[in-house]
Amino acid sequence: MAHQPLSLRRAGLVSVLTVSLHLVASGIAAAQGNSSTQLRRFVDQQVGGIQKMMVPAHNTELPQPRLANGSPDPQFQTTEAKRYLGKLLFHEPARATRIIPEFGGILEHGGSASCGTCHLGEAASKSGTLLNFATGGEGRGYTDADGNFIARRRPLPDLPILRQTPLFPGDARVDALPTLTDIYKLADGTTEVNTPARGRRPLPGDTTDTRPAAIQLLATG
């Protein structure tokens, strides 16, 4: 049996991989068309059906952590008291205290927004505003002539301009990053894009978190 030179075999392998990747990409592109049918087909391919992405109708049907014996962990059980507490916290503006002036925040705006400020009940609690301001924003939206609620907030006039070039019509240019986006400098010299939940973790003495420590907040949205 004659052996092909290594360069030819590599070339053949590259050709096969190129064709394979092209076919895969073509299939994904076809599934990612503009129609709802194509979108659902793509979801089926990725996760095995859109039903797996739907929120159950009742809280009792939500997947819960299990104990070693297989029974639901009571610590994570949904109760009426927990539901009511969550609702209160969702609409509690006193928790809005992360105002950082060096990144454009105005301290006087602290305590003026909650989760419900952006996630509006009128819009099924989704954050669907074009300008998504919590602290530093005002308004909720309006109802059009057909009775549709349009979520719409606007920035307060005292917010500083942080950018010169608008990214879209109506851009107020008062934010440098998307909401809840943080950029950290890590102890190993690299940078990481994350959320405020990252904080300066891992905390001193935490041996379970093996990530490099976040030692400096470089920017926040």
Angle between helices 6-31 and 36-47 (to 10 degrees): 130
pTM score, whole prediction? 0.59
Among candidate residues 99, 108, 117, 114, the one with its CA nearest the CA of residue 153: 117
CA angle 75, 81, 85 (to 5 degrees): 100
The greatest distance separating any two alpha carbons of the chain, rounded to the nearest whole angstrom, comes to: 81
Q: For residue 81, what pLDDT band results from cuts at 50, 70 and 90?
A: very high
Q: Is the pLDDT of residue 151 over 80?
A: yes
Q: What percent of the chain has pLDDT over 90?
A: 14
Query: Could you tell me which residues come within 8 angstroms of residue 1 by beta carbon, excluding any fewer than 6 positions away?
Result: none
Q: Residue 3 — very low, low, confident or very high, per pLDDT cuts 50/70/90?
A: very low
Question: What residues does each domain of the chain span?
Answer: 87-155, 182-220
**Gap between the Cα atoms of 14 and 6, Å rounded:** 12
Q: CB of 153 within 8 A of CB of 137?
A: yes
Per-residue exposure over 184-212, b if at least 16 CB sit within 10 Å of its own CB, e if not? bbeeeeeeeebeeebeeebeeeeeeeeee
pLDDT tens track for 6-57: 343 444 434 434 444 444 455 555 545 678 888 888 888 888 888 888 888 8
Q: Is the pLDDT of residue 149 over 70?
A: yes
